[in-house]
Amino acid sequence: MEQLRLAIIGGDGIGPEVTSEARKVLRAALDGTVDLVETEFALGATHYLETGDILTDETIDAIAEHDAILLGAVGGDPRDPRLAGGIIERGLLLRLRFAFDHYVNLRPTALHPAVTSPLRDPGEVDFVVVREGTEGPYVGNGGSLRTGTPHEIANETSVNTAFGVERVVRYAFDLAETRSKRLTLVHKTNVLVHAGGLWRRITDAVAAEHPDVTVDYLHVDAATIFLVDRPSRFDVIVTDNLFGDILTDLAGAIAGGIGLAASGNINPDGTFPSMFEPVHGSAPDIAGTGTADPTAAILSAALLAEHLGHADAARRIRDAVDQDVAQRPAPTTTSETGDRIVALVAAA
Amino acid sequence: MEQLRLAIIGGDGIGPEVTSEARKVLRAALDGTVDLVETEFALGATHYLETGDILTDETIDAIAEHDAILLGAVGGDPRDPRLAGGIIERGLLLRLRFAFDHYVNLRPTALHPAVTSPLRDPGEVDFVVVREGTEGPYVGNGGSLRTGTPHEIANETSVNTAFGVERVVRYAFDLAETRSKRLTLVHKTNVLVHAGGLWRRITDAVAAEHPDVTVDYLHVDAATIFLVDRPSRFDVIVTDNLFGDILTDLAGAIAGGIGLAASGNINPDGTFPSMFEPVHGSAPDIAGTGTADPTAAILSAALLAEHLGHADAARRIRDAVDQDVAQRPAPTTTSETGDRIVALVAAA
Ligand SMILES: CC(C)[C@H](C(=O)O)[C@@H](O)C(=O)O
Ligand SMILES: CC(C)[C@H](C(=O)O)[C@@H](O)C(=O)O
């Protein structure tokens, strides 16, 4: 039987709770076809405050030995001064994305028929944001001078390379070919002319190889308007790391809340393990109450299964989630939701 | 009688059409109290394609002699290769903002009772975004290496100074004092740690001088969720140039469309003329059809009047717009809308 080694990073807050439901569902979906070996890694704000370590090189090496990573959520109390400046987000989450060259941050958005969108008339909402994951303003190329004085200057540099942009744009076009063949580049070419020019030229060049894909372009500000006014105009969006961060939270909101938004941090080359995580955060305020919705984590596990070649298991997980969302009792608990979805997967 | 010298930049597309309605309304509102001297400046994509000039130093000097600027919209056909790379936006609009040190880009958002929001249940929408206007990723500090080759690197640098951040943050706190005393800083401090740290420290320091203002912080991605899910949580938002650009288009959308969104590019020191413009663009597709809605331009004229100390005229313009929006016939034309609002202002 094929062996799949999963690195599990529950993380902080509701992270471990939702991850444990996702694991139950994944086991049910892969049951009998795969020998699933799960290794838990204690990482996150709590781990850091206890040990002083955020993510050691040894731990990165150990995680690298796995076929994929399932991550819950990381981040502690935002008001804790020991966690200021995104030390956990950057030292753990972004470090994993960069170390494992997760250049595709894949974020599908679909409005489930049983879910109420905050939009009055959402129309069809079914698109995927392909967010670049290893460049842009996320590279950590910032610094400050005369810090803390009235003469402080703080700079942040967005770094973009032809190599980095081309590979994610190619991925997006390939994805568009499997969907309704519409691709929208989102950037801010009228202000960020150098980065924007690079994105635009590469998109144009790759578009020439995909004559059947309809390509258009929107400035990021205009894209937010269309997400609210006519989300059906979108099929595949390809965009920069920061714009993708912003647009996918907005996309999650219009699809009824980021409680349902799954994501994959993908290294398409397969050199490193890809990492799957809900878009939501660690929500320390509801941790331990058993009220966190594990659906986004479970859908992230479906993305993981699909990525590892288990499209059938992925489809069964998604179908089970669809069914459960359509008839979900209220109130319900984190583990009840997991149990219902496990039962639906097993019955399929 | 007090003389007010206005520089008028109609610009491109629907810009001149909506500006001419705004001027009619402004004249009606200031009639008898002010000697209004209006100077038109032919600027924009059309002017550039005809003359090769975007904005000469002489023109900047001539505009500087005015008390304020009323701008329609600039920008030509986005597919025209002669206008690529935002040459008009940067060479004209951003150049004016930077040359005249418009460090406050003021963008109020309110949902008119007669306007339908795309949100199912918008609640109260009444907030102001104070967008920094002279720093951040807009400074034009980018460049590229090996351009057009597979080894291209394109960088963009966001520049932020204590001087620049403090003055806009102070403006936002002063504004919050006149409203419901709630201020939200929006940034991305967990990724852009240097710029974000500067914004955060300065906001904390200024907050200490305003103990009656409740201050909170949101990452820009989370802010988009709240704008959709609970816009009533916002009163004054203070943010960076790029985040402000994105959030105000989204804000315009949730308030029923950027056809109603006005803005002021303000130099609070009064060293240079401030500039007032609708948030919308030049909409070349509907130019000349007489269907453009001049309301945002008219509300921008109200901001101008208020800025120049004519609070009473500003209030009369706003009241007239409120009345007209509540009973606006459909269809109507650009000039009919202007005429109705002029009549309402005159009757007040
Ligand atoms: C936690 C943060 C660093 C992260 C990001 O900005 O990428 C998050 O918002 C996300 O979208 O995964
Ligand atoms: C036209 C463009 C340069 C401008 C900006 O990005 O500031 C516009 O979007 C705005 O918001 O006024």
* Helix/strand/coil (H/E/C) assignment for every residue in B94-136: HHHHHHCCCCEEEEEEECCCCCCCCECCCCCCEEEEEEECCCE
pLDDT at B330 over 90: yes
Residue with CA closest to ligand 1 atom 5: A245
Mean pLDDT value of segment B125-138: 98
pLDDT at B259 over 90: no
Q: Which CATH class is domain B117-126+139-255?
A: alpha beta
Cα–Cα nearest to A166, from B296, B245, B53, B150: B150
Q: How far apart are CA A12 and CA A71, in angstroms?
A: 10
Chain A's closest residue to B281, CA to CA, is A222
Chain B's closest residue to A160, CA to CA, is B154
CA–CA min distance A121, chain B (Å): 7
B188 a catalytic residue: yes
pLDDT at B258 over 90: no
Binding residue ranges of A: 97, 107, 131, 221, 245, 249, 281-293
Domain ranges of chain A: 1-106+259-348
Q: How far apart are CA A88 and CA A11, in angstroms?
A: 10
The distance from CA A74 to its chain's CA centroid, rounded to whole angstroms, is 13
Name the amino acid, one letter, at A123.
G
Angle between helices A311-326 and A334-347 (to 10 degrees): 120
Residue with CA closest to ligand 1 atom 6: A245
Determine, for residues B192 and A137 on separate chains, whether the beta-carbon distance falls below 8 Å: yes
The distance from CA B346 to its chain's CA centroid, rounded to whole angstroms, is 26
Q: How far apart are CA A199 and CA A202, in angstroms?
A: 5
Determine, for residues B220 and A246 on separate chains, whether the beta-carbon distance falls below 8 Å: yes
Mean pLDDT value of segment B337-343: 98
Binding residue ranges of A for Mg(2+): 221, 245, 249
Confidence class for position B79, pLDDT limits 50, 70, 90? confident
| Average of per-residue pLDDT values in chain B | 97
B249 a catalytic residue: yes
What values do phi and psi take at A226, rounded to 5? -65, -35
Residue found under tokens 């351009």: B147
H/E stretch holding B20: helix B15-30
Please tell me the distance between residue A183's alpha carbon and the centre of ligand 2 in angstroms. 23
CATH for the B1-110+260-348 domain, from 3.30.565.10, 3.40.718.10, 1.20.1530.20, 1.10.645.10: 3.40.718.10
Determine, for residues A137 and B158 on separate chains, whether the beta-carbon distance falls below 8 Å: yes
- Is CATH 3.40.718.10 the classification given to domain A1-106+259-348? yes
Binding residue ranges of A for NAD(+): 281-293
Query: Which ligand has the shortest distance to the CA of B189?
Result: 1
For residue A214, count other CB atoms closer than 10 A to its CB.
14
pLDDT score recorded for residue A78: 78
Name the amino acid, one letter, at A321.
V
Determine, for residues B137 and A158 on separate chains, whether the beta-carbon distance falls below 8 Å: yes
For residue B209, count other CB atoms closer than 10 A to its CB.
9
- Across A253-325, where does the E strand assignment appear? 262-266, 274-278
Q: How far apart are CA B39 and CA B7, in angstroms?
A: 5
In this chain, the answer to whether the domains covering B1-110+260-348 and B117-126+139-255 adopt an identical fold is yes
pLDDT score recorded for residue A82: 95
Mean pLDDT value of segment B262-279: 97
pLDDT score recorded for residue B111: 97
Please tell me the distance between residue A133's alpha carbon and the centre of ligand 1 in angstroms. 10
**Closest ligand 2 atom to the C-alpha of B242?**
6
Q: Which residues contact B94 (CB under 8 A, 6 or more apart)?
A: A191, B138, B140
For residue A298, count other CB atoms closer than 10 A to its CB.
31
B181 a catalytic residue: no
B12 a catalytic residue: no
Ligand 1 pocket test, pick from A245, A246, A300 with the greatest ligand atom count within 8 Å of Cβ, gives A245
Please tell me the distance between residue A245's alpha carbon and the centre of ligand 1 in angstroms. 6
pLDDT score recorded for residue B98: 98
Mean pLDDT value of segment B223-251: 98
Per-residue pLDDT of chain A (348 residues; tens, 9 = 90+): 999 999 999 999 999 999 999 999 999 999 999 999 999 999 999 999 999 999 999 999 999 999 999 999 999 887 899 999 899 999 999 999 999 999 999 999 999 999 999 999 999 999 999 999 999 999 999 999 999 999 999 999 999 999 999 999 999 999 999 999 999 999 999 999 999 999 999 999 999 999 999 999 999 999 999 999 999 999 999 999 999 999 999 999 999 988 899 999 999 999 999 999 999 999 999 999 999 999 999 999 999 999 999 999 999 999 999 999 999 999 999 999 999 999 999 998
